[in-house]
Amino acid sequence: MAVITVDRERALLTAEFQGLDKLWTLKSRLEIPLAHVRGATHDPGIAREPRGIRVAGTHMPGMITAGRFRRGGEHLFWDVRNPAKAVVIELADAATYDRLIIEVDDPRATVALIEQSIARDEV
For the chain, the domains span: 2-122
On whether the 2-122 domain is CATH 2.30.29, my answer is yes
The 10s digit of each residue's pLDDT in 21-78 is 999 898 999 999 999 999 999 999 998 888 899 999 998 988 999 999 999 889 999 9
- In contact, 71 and 50? CB cutoff 8 Å: yes
Pairing of strands 74-80, 99-103: parallel
**Whole-model pTM?**
0.91
**Would you call 95 helix, strand, or coil by DSSP?**
coil
Each residue of 74-120: pLDDT tens digit? 999 999 999 999 999 999 976 789 999 999 999 999 999 999 999 86
- 3 state SS of 37: strand
